[in-house]
A and B are shown apart, each in its own frame.
Chain A
Amino acid sequence: MITIAFYFFAVLITLLFLVTVMSKNVLYAMTSLAAGMVLISGLFFILGADFLGVVQLIVYVGAVMALYSFAMMFFDVNKDVKEKNGSAATVFLLGGAIALMLVLVFSAPMIGQGAASLYPQVAGATNPQAVGLVLFTKYLVPFEVAAVMLLVAMIAGIILAGKKMDLSLSTTEEEILDETQGGDK
């Protein structure tokens, strides 16, 4: 059952991500990306990382994808992106070679078999409980730091994107923009 589920998810995720990477249409790409993310959360559930799967759904599929879709609307790229993909061969060669290497490395026999776990899962605890136990004891400081980082990122995002929001992009000449930005400093 798990085997079927894994292969199902694996194949679908791979295909969807390939669409993301290859598609000329940003909307398709984004949609397939979101779908892939959802399926990845499925993998997490299989792995018993329930909480991670939920976070994946909420953060990625919820927040990040929403941001991207807003950005897409802002940039008005809901049309085919014209790209010059010069040496596709190089790209695929590089990607393929790295994939090959990674597969080779990962399929090699494990040598860290006897590695002791640093924070063993507490017996009997559900996954969210276990996560909470570790996150709020050993990883409390990184957790707080991550919170601050998110706050900083939010403020940065607002400030970066929020500048000159009142100026109309379609009517502004580049020079004027440069000028106003220079004067803003």
Chain B
Amino acid sequence: MENLVYIALFAPLVGSLFAALFGMQKKNAITGIVTSMLLFISFVASAILFNHVMTVGPVHVRMMDWIMAGDMLIPFGFLVDQVSVTMMTVVTLVSTVVHIYSNGYMDHDKSFNRFFSYLSAFVFSMMVLVMSDNFLGLFIGWEGVGVCSWLLIGFWYHKEDVSREVNPSISPSWAANEAFIMNRIADLGMLIGIFILYWNIGSLQYDVVFAALPNLSDGILVAAAVALFIGAMGKSAQFPLHTWLTDAMEGPTPVSALIHAATMVTAGVFLVIRANPLYSMEAVHWVSYFIASLGTFVAIFAASMALVNRDLKRIIAFSTLSQLGYMFAAAGLGAYWIALFHLAAHAFFKALLFLGAGNVMHAMDGELDIFKMGGLKKVMRWTYLYMGLASLALSGIGIAGIGFAGYFSKDAIIETAFNEHTYILWVILVVTAGLTAFYSFRQVFLTFHGNERYHEIGAHPHEMYTYVLIGMSPLAILAVIAGFFQDWFEHFVTALLPEYHMSEHTHHLSWILGLIVIAFAVGGIVLAYVKYNRGLKRNEKLEHSFVYKLLANQYYIPILYEKIFSQPYAALSKFSWAVLDQKVVDATVDGIGHIIKSTGDNTRKIQTGNLSDYLRWMAGGALLLVVIAFVAFKLSQGAN
């Protein structure tokens, strides 16, 4: 089993390094094939490990001692238990599909090989993140995925910056930097959390840390929980660190599907789930409640912005944000297995949605404005089917125990909110479910139904390559059927995660609760159908209303951030450059140079070229030496 762990972990790294060999060359189909194959191998290994964990139990390998300094001992170990093996399987499965997809999607890109190198490196980092058996290894993976995310968002770094009105993300390189910097801010919090744990416990191994938690004082527990959650907020793009995720859509679509929907952004949820012993502590219950509240807030906050957005990928990005909010709500309320379940289900249908959006984008020559599409179902039947399925899954359609993946996972979260008597959260989550259904199908209808507006921009849509569509099918199947594994999954992960059961009261009411959610979801879909099925009818009055503008501009938060943080910081930097650097630092350095130069200028008179003068200097020096020796000798004698 140990070898399988290493195969699952290092196969993506091998693929990445292999692709990197061809990094600067022009497209070489073999890099795509080899990395996809290696990812598939990694997936198979993860699947076997999944089976092993299910039948036998967790695998814990210790590869080597990593940091040994004094009392500090941090081994480089990997833990494959119920939680990490779930993540591994999800990550490798989605990655494999995305790799296969990218073979088609990136077909015409000149940096084809580089792309695969980055993508596989990302998968490797993600595997380190989920498989590590200690917080520091997790942090390494955490930073690794951050770097890969940066590389991939800025993959088309050569694009010029444009104004915010033209493209809200300004440029790929700008978006990449935004994502990276925002994550740095959050990572500082995470690092502090890790430090707090290490100082107070003396170890970073999960098992040691969790065993020692009851001995810690409340203040320390709260501090560690808050600090770690700040890290999770950054990676999972929770408010107020959420702006980077939509801008990250500047990256190639497979990247959005893999990193910014299915895997990396869920790392924050994973962290909270992983650290569930900490977040379940009585002392930190209000932190957990805050997590749930923030998650709920982000769910509706992001969904509201998705309502009016016109950019295909951004809508899905907001939807991702919203669904991450759901996950945090579940994790904050103590239903860790439900959060993990939604994480996995979401990974499938959201990746599918993104890949479908990628197909559309590919078909429309990079056009993403859904107002300029319409009627695409005729030419893109399979993509239509996939995106329709994914949207149904996202909306949580289903009834009486039969439904799409999202029906099971999201309903469970909403039910949890009711069960915890947090009715406000429950109401918000139900409303959000309706909004989710509306914006998902607004997008589907605007893209695939109605009049064919794409003729106006002269696009000639065409279906994606067949092998790509076949490659996407596993996700489609899982988006449909993943929900049926709910009970089985619960049984599997609650071996490690705390069990969570609905109370009797909730249980009795669950069919009503389910009906309410379904009513909202169907209501959303119907509304979208009524409004958009016939084609786009723009409502000028609505589009100029304050609320619409507020939502379309993301509540003006990016602009606010720019005004509050970026511009003062730029001013400060300019000040530092003009005053501190040029007038203080440079002046000091120049001054030293001037002193030396003037010393040289003044002392060059010594260099008369006359031997006599040199001899005099020499004699003077000799005299000085003798005097020093004599005085020193006398002093040393006096000291004795």
- Contact, chains A and B (beta carbon distance below 8 A): yes
Whether B626 pairs with A105 at a CB distance below 8 angstroms is yes
Q: CB within 8 Å of B: which of A92-118?
A: 94-95, 97-98, 101-102, 104-105
Complex interface: chain B residues within 8 A of A105 (CB):
626, 630
**Stretch in B162-170, B229-237, B288-296, B614-622 touching the partner:** B614-622
A–B Cβ pairs within 8 angstroms, 7 of them: A94-B616, A94-B623, A97-B623, A98-B619, A101-B626, A101-B627, A101-B630
Q: CB within 8 Å of B: which of A121-150?
A: none
Whether B626 pairs with A102 at a CB distance below 8 angstroms is yes
Name the 7 nearest CB pairs between A and B, nearest first: A101-B626, A94-B619, A98-B623, A97-B623, A105-B630, A94-B620, A94-B623
Report Cα–Cα, A102/B622, bound state, in Å: 11
Q: Shortest distance in angstroms between A13's beta carbon and chain B's nearest beta carbon?
A: 22
Residue A90 is within 8 A (CB to CB) of chain B in the complex:
yes
Whether B630 pairs with A98 at a CB distance below 8 angstroms is no
Q: CB within 8 Å of A: which of B577-628?
A: 616, 619-620, 622-623, 626-627
Complex interface: chain B residues within 8 A of A104 (CB):
630
Residue A46 is within 8 A (CB to CB) of chain B in the complex:
no
Complex interface: chain B residues within 8 A of A102 (CB):
626
Q: Shortest distance in angstroms between B378's beta carbon and chain A's nearest beta carbon?
A: 94
Q: Shortest distance in angstroms between B364's beta carbon and chain A's nearest beta carbon?
A: 82
Q: Shortest distance in angstroms between B172's beta carbon and chain A's nearest beta carbon?
A: 68
Q: CB within 8 Å of A: which of B128-169?
A: none
Report Cα–Cα, A98/B618, bound state, in Å: 12
Residue A91 is within 8 A (CB to CB) of chain B in the complex:
yes
Q: Shortest distance in angstroms between A89's beta carbon and chain B's nearest beta carbon?
A: 12
Closest to B629 in A: A105
Closest to B617 in A: A94
Complex interface: chain B residues within 8 A of A101 (CB):
623, 626-627, 630
Report Cα–Cα, A104/B631, bound state, in Å: 11
Report Cα–Cα, A154/B46, bound state, in Å: 89
Q: Which of the four size classes fits the interface of chain A? A: 10 to 19
Report Cα–Cα, A122/B620, bound state, in Å: 43
Q: Majority SS of interface residues in chain A?
A: helix
Report Cα–Cα, A106/B60, bound state, in Å: 80
Closest to A83 in B: B612
Q: Shortest distance in angstroms between B177's beta carbon and chain A's nearest beta carbon?
A: 66
Whether A90 pairs with B630 at a CB distance below 8 angstroms is no
Q: Can you list, as one digit per residue, whether each of A32-52 has a CB less than 8 Å from chain B (1) or not (0)?
A: 000000000000000000000
Complex interface: chain A residues within 8 A of B627 (CB):
101
Which B residues have a C-beta under 8 Å from some C-beta of A?
Answer: 616, 619-620, 622-623, 626-627, 630
Report Cα–Cα, A97/B620, bound state, in Å: 10
Report Cα–Cα, A91/B616, bound state, in Å: 7
Q: A98-B622, A98-B623, A105-B626 are in contact. List 16 more A-B contacts (CB 8 A).
A: A90-B616, A91-B616, A94-B616, A94-B619, A94-B620, A94-B623, A95-B619, A97-B623, A98-B619, A101-B623, A101-B626, A101-B627, A101-B630, A102-B626, A104-B630, A105-B630
Complex interface: chain B residues within 8 A of A97 (CB):
623
| Listed residue (A90, A91, A94, A105) with the most chain B CB atoms within 10 angstroms of its CB | A94
Complex interface: chain A residues within 8 A of B619 (CB):
94-95, 98
Report Cα–Cα, A101/B630, bound state, in Å: 8
Complex interface: chain A residues within 8 A of B626 (CB):
98, 101-102, 105
Report Cα–Cα, A104/B620, bound state, in Å: 17
Q: Shortest distance in angstroms between B3's beta carbon and chain A's nearest beta carbon?
A: 69
Closest to B622 in A: A98
Q: Shortest distance in angstroms between B632's beta carbon and chain A's nearest beta carbon?
A: 12
Closest to B618 in A: A94
Complex interface: chain B residues within 8 A of A95 (CB):
619
Q: Shortest distance in angstroms between A139's beta carbon and chain B's nearest beta carbon?
A: 29
Complex interface: chain B residues within 8 A of A90 (CB):
616
Closest to B627 in A: A101
Report Cα–Cα, A91/B620, bound state, in Å: 10
Complex interface: chain A residues within 8 A of B623 (CB):
94, 97-98, 101
Complex interface: chain A residues within 8 A of B616 (CB):
90-91, 94
Complex interface: chain A residues within 8 A of B620 (CB):
94
Closest to A91 in B: B616
Q: Shortest distance in angstroms between A15's beta carbon and chain B's nearest beta carbon?
A: 23
Q: Shortest distance in angstroms between A19's beta carbon and chain B's nearest beta carbon?
A: 21
Report Cα–Cα, A90/B620, bound state, in Å: 10
Closest to A87 in B: B616
Q: Shortest distance in angstroms between B79's beta carbon and chain A's nearest beta carbon?
A: 72
Q: Shortest distance in angstroms between A41's beta carbon and chain B's nearest beta carbon?
A: 28
Report Cα–Cα, A98/B620, bound state, in Å: 9
Report Cα–Cα, A102/B630, bound state, in Å: 10
Closest to A94 in B: B619
Report Cα–Cα, A97/B619, bound state, in Å: 10
Closest to A84 in B: B612
Closest to B626 in A: A101
Complex interface: chain A residues within 8 A of B630 (CB):
101, 104-105
Closest to A95 in B: B619
Report Cα–Cα, A70/B133, bound state, in Å: 94
Report Cα–Cα, A99/B620, bound state, in Å: 13
Q: CB within 8 Å of B: which of A43-99?
A: 90-91, 94-95, 97-98
Q: Shortest distance in angstroms between B567's beta carbon and chain A's nearest beta carbon?
A: 67
Report Cα–Cα, A23/B93, bound state, in Å: 104
Q: Shortest distance in angstroms between B630's beta carbon and chain A's nearest beta carbon?
A: 6
Closest to A105 in B: B630
Q: Shortest distance in angstroms between B614's beta carbon and chain A's nearest beta carbon?
A: 13
Closest to A98 in B: B623
Report Cα–Cα, A26/B626, bound state, in Å: 32
Complex interface: chain A residues within 8 A of B622 (CB):
98
Report Cα–Cα, A94/B624, bound state, in Å: 10
Q: Shortest distance in angstroms between A109's beta carbon and chain B's nearest beta carbon?
A: 10
Report Cα–Cα, A97/B621, bound state, in Å: 12
Report Cα–Cα, A88/B207, bound state, in Å: 88
Closest to A102 in B: B626
Report Cα–Cα, A104/B439, bound state, in Å: 102
Report Cα–Cα, A95/B616, bound state, in Å: 10
Q: Shortest distance in angstroms between A97's beta carbon and chain B's nearest beta carbon?
A: 5
Report Cα–Cα, A115/B619, bound state, in Å: 31
Report Cα–Cα, A16/B616, bound state, in Å: 23
Closest to B610 in A: A86
Report Cα–Cα, A102/B629, bound state, in Å: 11
Report Cα–Cα, A145/B367, bound state, in Å: 91
Complex interface: chain B residues within 8 A of A94 (CB):
616, 619-620, 623
Report Cα–Cα, A176/B626, bound state, in Å: 48
Report Cα–Cα, A98/B623, bound state, in Å: 6
Closest to B637 in A: A111
Q: Shortest distance in angstroms between A91's beta carbon and chain B's nearest beta carbon?
A: 7
Q: Shortest distance in angstroms between B627's beta carbon and chain A's nearest beta carbon?
A: 6
Closest to B625 in A: A101
Report Cα–Cα, A97/B626, bound state, in Å: 10
